[in-house]
Structure 1
Amino acid sequence: MLAYQKWLKNNVNVTVSNKKGSTIWEGSSKKAFITHEIPSGGQLIQACTIDLYYYYSDAKGLPGHKFYSADSNCGGTVTINK
């Protein structure tokens, strides 16, 4: 079971690291719908098989900023620091 969990983490997940200096929200669509909060200095593990966007608020419908393309860094870390 532990070997499977390690394989899963390294093959279908990406770690999102927030180094912006402020809280951001992360989601998988151009406009905010379902988001996950990432505080400054925080991290979130997300599926690597989808495009990812960040937002400056969790308000529904806000435009997002694409920072990750599906399947581009599975098992790795993406840092948001703009």
Structure 2
Amino acid sequence: MFSHKDRPIDKQIRCESIAFCEVEKIAEEKGLPVLGEIPYDPLMIEAQREEKNIVEYWRDSVCSKALERVYERFSMILEELR
């Protein structure tokens, strides 16, 4: 089975960037906002093993900070709709 561990890191970053570009393109076509990008973070695996979410497990991780930004943007959009 092929996993992210089998790929060189530069390919992984490039693939993730390409995928995000596709998300941005589709969102623009549909008139939807992109709330953010959640980067790969090995701490996510550790958090899952501990049966915790990443923010609970490691609040200062790159992934946690990205999730918090997405939450803030989503909250702002909801406020605008009220």
TM, length-normalised to structure 1: 0.23
The structure where strand makes up a greater share of residues is 1
Q: Greater relative contact order (Cα 8 A, min sep 6): structure 1 or 2? A: 1
The structure where helix makes up a greater share of residues is 2
TM, length-normalised to structure 2: 0.23
**Larger-gyration structure (1/2):** 2
